[in-house]
Structures are given as structure tokens and as C-alpha cells.
Structure 1
Amino acid sequence: MKIAFIHHTLVIGSGIDTVIWELAHRLKGEHDVKIFTFLNEYPSGLVKVVNIPFNENKVINSVFSPFLPNSYKLRGLIKEFDVVNVHHYPANFFPFFPKKLETFNIVTEWSGPPLSLLKNLSLKEKFYIKFIMAMNKYAALRADDLIAPCDFVKKWIKDNYGLDSRKIYLDGINFDYFNFKKYKKEKIDFGGPIILYVGRIAPNKNIDILIESFETVKRELEDSKLVIVGRKTFPEYYKKLKNFLKKRKLEESVIFTGEVSWDDLPLYYASCDVFATCSAWEGFLRAEAFAMKKPMVAFDAGANKETIKDGINGFLVKEKSPEAFANALIKILEDNNLRKKMGKNGYKWAKENLDFDVIAKNFSKYITEVTN
């Protein structure tokens, strides 16, 4: 079967980009697979990738690419495929505009943030997010089939679009890459118990609440450290966080690493004692920490409960307060046996459900079923 994946970027380590590349890499033995993208960071030869040149301006690409001349070239290339899989805008617009292609078009929907989370954004940012959500709905309503990467998103699709969808875990883990055995002796010595956060430095990720929680943890565990790995996507928010650290005299204990290379990321997971996120919303909570046998702590929000089984592989904090979150972290950090048990449970669940080898088999089976 000829399968085309379309995504505007193919950036190493980025969530959806990783899903597409890992799936294509595993499906190529059974199917004729190609990825169409504007920007590719992956090495050549492992997967067939077609680079479609568009405008060099990222804003123009992310908003207007479906309406530019090269979009017709892309549509001409993908119409020869049996199945086309797209995720969010702008990639999900190509199979449906100006008219729907006769290929079997599958849209993977990742849901959108609650509108309440947009209140602190600028008018431009609010407009952009609402525009993207409207375009995603446009594609979903015209798709031949819809994939939801978890039950939370499946319900979100039904509530917001009135459509049924097929649940398939997609945001998986390459266990050869995130291999805890490789890092048993290799660690980064930050000194003391390590709480790790990996993700964008953005207001909806509630890094400020995480830091407030850590302040409470530090009163109990004086030598503990909070390591924050990720891009500073909101400079003003990052500046606010740094000012808070200075005011509370936490600059030596909270470490912002900036963006870390994909090759180095497993070492950070291996070096921590617990992974923590105070994010207000996630379409699916990534679980690389489980691959390294580390427990996770998060608020009971969005799809988090599908990754974290409360009290089994981590803690889901129901009370949205820094104090409650800190208590969950302290409980794990002070109990070595609990920490190890939760880490093992997380590894077992992730290996059974989120191994990309398992996900690729499920995806291939799904495509065969829906196209027949």
C-alpha cells in the first residue's frame, strides 16, 4: 500500500514530527511510504522524504502555505497514494483544498487547549490559536477517517466536532534510543535529588507553579535541584520566571538548560529522580521518563491520567496548588523503594503500550481495516 505522511516540519525531537518519522521508518518494510515536508532535519536514506520548498518565512509557511503555488505541486504528488495521513494545520489542509483528493484521507487530531488558557496571551497569539483550531475542524469534518491518540482526545473530538474517531496510541517511545541500560553508570551530577521538567517554556506549562512547588520541596530536601529543559518560546514569561528565582534566592537550585539535543536528552532523564509537569493541558503526556524507569508527577488535567496511573507509576495531583504538588514530589523523593517501584511500573506500561514497534503494528492493522 502507498502511504503518504504530510507535515510542515520534520524536526528531530518534536512531538508529531517524531511520531511521523518513527511510524514511516517501521512501516516502510510492509508499505511504500513517503513523508512530504517543508523542513527536514533527519538524516537521508532511512526514510523516503520529499522536501517541498515553500517560503523561507516561518509565519508565511505556518499560515498561508496551503494557498501558495507550491501547494498545487504537493497535491499533484500525493494524489497518487492510497492513503494520506495528516495531523494539524497547515499540513491537514492540503488533501481538502481547493477540493478533496480521491485518496483515503486520514486526519490525526490532537485536540485544542481550553479557551480559558488563552486569556493571558496577546491578541495576535489568541487569533493564531483560534485560526489553527478552526482549520483543524475544517479538515476533520472532511476526513475519511479520524484518529485520536488517546481516550481524552477521542471524547474531545466527539464534544467539539460531533464526530466519532478511532483511538490509537501514537506518541510513543523509541526504546532502543531511550534505553535505561545504557545509562546505568552515566549520569549528570547536579547534586542532590533531581526533579526534571522537559518541554517548552510557555505560560500554559505553568513553570511558575512548578518553581513554587519546588520551593516547598527545597525546605524539606535542602540539596534538591529542579532542572528545566526546553526552548524559551515566550521570552517575557521566561524573564518573569528568572526574576522570581532571583527574588526567592533560588537561582543556584533551579537550572534552565535551554534546548537540549535529542542525543543528550536520554542522559537528562537517566540523571533525574522524578519527572514533573504542572501543565494546565496536554493532548497526551509524553512518557520518555518511563522508558528510563522514572516516576512522573502531574496535575490531574487533560489527558494526563492516561499516562500516569495515580499511585502506581506516579502521582496525579487533583488539587491545583503548589503545596499539593510539592507534597507528591516529596513523597516520591523521600521513599527510594516507592520511587523504584513506580519507575518499574511505568516502564512496564510504556513498553506494552507506547513502544513504537507496537504502535506501528497497530497503525498498519488499522490502515488495512479502514481501506478495506
Structure 2
Amino acid sequence: MDVVDVVDEHSGSDADKVAIFTRNFSPSNGISQVISQQISELASAGKDVSVFCFKNRFDSVEYSSVTSLYSPDNAILSGMYDIVSPFNPVSTSALLRSLREFDAAIVHQYPFDVVSHLCKKMHGTAYIRWYHHDLEARESGKGFVNKVHIRINSVLKTRIPSYLDPDVVCTVSKSSREEFERKTGKEAIVVQNKVNTERFSDPKTPDELEVTYGLDPTRPTIVYVGRINTNKNIHDLVEAYNDVSETVRDVQLILVGEIQEEQYAKELTDMACGEVFLTGWVSDDTLAGIYSVADVYSSASISEGFNLPIAEARLFDCPIVVFDIPPHRENLSDYDRGYLVDPGDLSTFSDALARSLSERRHDE
């Protein structure tokens, strides 16, 4: 089953206008990559797709229009507005009017559950909820404020959809379905994330990567892809890298992704014994080039819904070393180059990295 099947089942096969909702629509955002794939699939099926978001960071989006809704520029005010915006009668009424002709609304993030619920009641629009993952406060990074924010988001992303009765809840993995059903008592179906292989059709060459980022493709290379923030537990990966650098000569660690916490990024480079490259967000052709030179892909995250970069790394036949959590187990169940390590066991994690590097270099 894919997103087209879900839309057709719940709004009719003749449905041709689909709205997709998310808070931030950005090429560096995992949810946005899922949405981009959905846009492609829906457009291929003849659907007219529109994305509604607070912030759009794409220069252009093929097969879809994008409407940026009001949100304060200040990060703190923006976070507060995310919570209260459904209760703004002016903006909600205006959005409802613009959605009258849509056959289906796919909601990826609160606060768009409320307006989609109202569309369902007033216009008969199919309300489809896409559930990714709920980051528990105990699993999040440092800081009391961060944990409070995570807790509020946890309530909003699980309780609100369960109260507003969507036509269907789709989760990105079996573990996400189990999580949602456990937290809400409501049923969900699994529509697993897919990798858009067209994104990686024209990878940068090793020479181009060396010129742009100073990367030496001849050195043993560990790659991580994802947001650079405390919730991703990257400090454990750097610590494991430090252990590996004692036995694997000239090993380098490449951290690819949007730097969301500048201080945390600095802490990562300061604690590293060897050479760590933080590339920031990169284009698809650059990302494909980096996967191509990776000797091993690794993430120390202990809280994920699916972890799309693992599926991407598989396309390049990379050995993969990650902690053994349900979505990782699910993602690597049929992959013989995946290594699952008990969460927190950095000694075994480091050994798996060193062994993967050795095997990969030997294969070449």
C-alpha cells in the first residue's frame, strides 16, 4: 500500500485535489523528504497536490504548489504559535475557505489536525493522519526547557489526532504503529517510508567532494546523515569514533545535516580526537557522492520512527552500524551488512565500526 492507495480508499478513486500539511517544509527535514516522495507518487497518479506549511525552505517544488502560512519569525514565539494557532478564528476560517475544494487532507504534524477535522465535518474532506514518531522527553537531549517542549509536542501529536478521529492513521513503520496504538488505544496501518532513488541519480565525484569539503576519499570514512542536535545522540557516535581512531589509521567522520544547535556542533568537534567534518545541509547529488565514498554508515540515535538515511545508505551497499531499537531492527531485517548493538554499549559499537571499516576496505 502507498499514499495513492490510502487517498483513493478514503476519498474515492476520482479524488483529484490533495492537501498536505506540515509545520516546516525543508529539504533538510526527514518528514519533508517523505512529503516530497508523496507528492511525486500522487502527481504520477494524476492528483493535484498542494502543500501548506508555516515555513517553506525549498527553492522550488516539482508537481506541487506550496502555501506558506503566517508564523512569527522568532523561534520561541513560533513554537508558541504552533500550539495556539488552531484557536485563531481568523486564520482558521481563512484556511477552511481555501480548502473547500480539496478531496483529501494529509496531516503530518500538529497543529493542522484541527482544521482538517473541521474540513471533514464541513466539506466531507478525507482526514488522513501520517504519524512518524513521538520523541519521549526521557529520550531527548539536554535541558529542562527542551524536555518540556518535547513533552508538550508528545501530547499534541498523539492525543489530538486520537480525539479528532481521522479517517485513517498511517504510520511509517511497524514500531511507529505499535507506539501510536499503545499511546492512544486507536488502530493504525503501516505505510513504510520509501527512498526516492531519483534523488541520487547523479552523485558528485570524489574529486568534487575533496575540492568542496576537503574530504579525502582514500581515507577510511564513517558517515552520519541527519539533523545535528542533542536528540540524535551524536556525541556517542563521536565517542565511538574516538575509540576507532586509536586502531584505524586516518579514519574520518563526516556529519551531514542541518546544524540546529550551534553550541552542540562545537562540542562535537571539540571532543573529537580525529578529523570531523560538519557539512551542514547538502544537495542530493552531494549526499549521493558522500554515501558513495562511505566505508560505513552509522548513527547513535536511540529514538526514531523509521530513520530514512539507513534505507538510503543501503542503496549504496554501505555497512551500517546502529543501536538496536525497533525501527532499526525493522529496517535491517533483510540486510546482511547491518550491525545492531545494544543501546549504550559503546565498546561493542566501536568494535562494530572498526570491523565494518576493515571489511569494507578489504572488499575494495
Contact 1:52 1:74 (8 Å CA) reproduced = no
Structure 2 CA distance for partners of 1:302 and 1:121, relative to 1, 3 Å:
farther
Supply the AA of the counterpart residue of 2:160. Y
Instruction: Using the TM superposition, name which of 206-215 and 181-190 deviates more.
Output: 181-190
Supply the AA of the counterpart residue of 1:200. R
Contact 1:37 1:49 (8 Å CA) reproduced = no
Pick one of 39, 42, 50 that aligns with 1:34: 50
Supply the AA of the counterpart residue of 2:148. F
User: Could you give the per-residue CA deviations for residues 211-230 of structure 1, whole angstroms, max 9, x where no partner exists?
Assistant: 11112211221111111122
Partner of 2:330: 306
Deviation at 1:293, TM superposition (A): 2.4
Deviation at 1:269, TM superposition (A): 1.3
- 2:307 matched to 1:285? yes
User: Could you give the per-residue CA deviations for residues 166-218 of structure 1, whole angstroms, max 9, x where no partner exists?
Assistant: 11112x22212223877588664424110001112222322221111112211
Supply the AA of the counterpart residue of 2:57. E
Contact 2:170 2:188 (8 Å CA) reproduced = yes
Partner of 1:122: 143
Deviation at 1:266, TM superposition (A): 1.6
User: What is the rounded CA distance, in whole Å, between the counterparts of 1:280 and 1:255 in structure 2?
Assistant: 22
Partner of 2:100: 79
Contact 1:183 1:267 (8 Å CA) reproduced = yes
User: What is the rounded CA distance, in whole Å, between the counterparts of 2:91 and 2:103 in structure 1?
Assistant: 22
Partner of 2:293: 271
- 2:243 matched to 1:223? no
User: What is the rounded CA distance, in whole Å, between the counterparts of 1:19 and 1:229 in structure 2?
Assistant: 18
Structure 2 CA distance for partners of 1:227 and 1:181, relative to 1, 3 Å:
closer
Contact 2:199 2:284 (8 Å CA) reproduced = no
Structure 2 CA distance for partners of 1:288 and 1:219, relative to 1, 3 Å:
same
- 2:42 matched to 1:21? no
Q: Which 5+ residue runs of structure 1 have no aligned equivalent?
A: 341-372
Contact 1:96 1:139 (8 Å CA) reproduced = no
Structure 2 CA distance for partners of 1:87 and 1:14, relative to 1, 3 Å:
same
Partner of 2:135: 113
User: Could you give the per-residue CA deviations for residues 10-31 of structure 1, whole angstroms, max 9, x where no partner exists?
Assistant: 2123211121122122312422
> TM-score, normalized by length of structure 1?
0.80
Residue correspondence of structure 1 range 1-372 to structure 2 within 5 A: 1=15, 2-29=17-44, 30-44=46-60, 46-57=62-73, 58=75, 59-60=77-78, 61-68=81-88, 69-96=90-117, 100-101=121-122, 102-118=124-140, 121-136=142-157, 137-141=159-163, 142-170=165-193, 172-179=194-201, 188=210, 189-190=215-216, 191-245=218-272, 250=273, 252-286=274-308, 287-309=311-333, 312-318=336-342, 320-336=344-360
Deviation at 1:263, TM superposition (A): 4.2
Count of aligned residue pairs for this structure pair: 333
> TM-score, normalized by length of structure 2?
0.82
Instruction: Using the TM superposition, name which of 5-14 and 307-316 deviates more.
Output: 307-316
Supply the AA of the counterpart residue of 1:27. L
User: Could you give the per-residue CA deviations for residues 29-49 of structure 1, whole angstroms, max 9, x where no partner exists?
Assistant: 422322223333335573231
Instruction: Using the TM superposition, name which of 227-236 and 139-148 deviates more.
Output: 227-236
Structure 2 CA distance for partners of 1:338 and 1:95, relative to 1, 3 Å:
farther
User: What is the rounded CA distance, in whole Å, between the counterparts of 2:64 and 2:351 in structure 1?
Assistant: 48
User: What is the rounded CA distance, in whole Å, between the counterparts of 1:148 and 1:196 in structure 2?
Assistant: 27
Structure 2 CA distance for partners of 1:94 and 1:326, relative to 1, 3 Å:
same
Structure 2 CA distance for partners of 1:289 and 1:89, relative to 1, 3 Å:
same
Specify the SS of the correspondent of 1:284.
Answer: coil
Measured on the aligned residues, the alpha-carbon RMSD in Å equals 2.7
Contact 1:85 1:105 (8 Å CA) reproduced = yes
User: What is the rounded CA distance, in whole Å, between the counterparts of 1:150 and 1:127 in structure 2?
Assistant: 26
User: What is the rounded CA distance, in whole Å, between the counterparts of 2:262 and 2:94 in structure 1?
Assistant: 37
User: What is the rounded CA distance, in whole Å, between the counterparts of 1:266 and 1:50 in structure 2?
Assistant: 26
Deviation at 1:271, TM superposition (A): 1.8
Specify the SS of the correspondent of 1:336.
Answer: helix
Deviation at 1:244, TM superposition (A): 2.0
Instruction: Using the TM superposition, name which of 203-212 and 54-63 deviates more.
Output: 54-63
Specify the SS of the correspondent of 2:355.
Answer: helix
User: What is the rounded CA distance, in whole Å, between the counterparts of 1:243 and 1:217 in structure 2?
Assistant: 17
User: What is the rounded CA distance, in whole Å, between the counterparts of 2:71 and 2:304 in structure 1?
Assistant: 30
Specify the SS of the correspondent of 1:275.
Answer: strand
User: Could you give the per-residue CA deviations for residues 222-275 of structure 1, whole angstroms, max 9, x where no partner exists?
Assistant: 111111122332334334333323xxxx2x422222333444222211121111
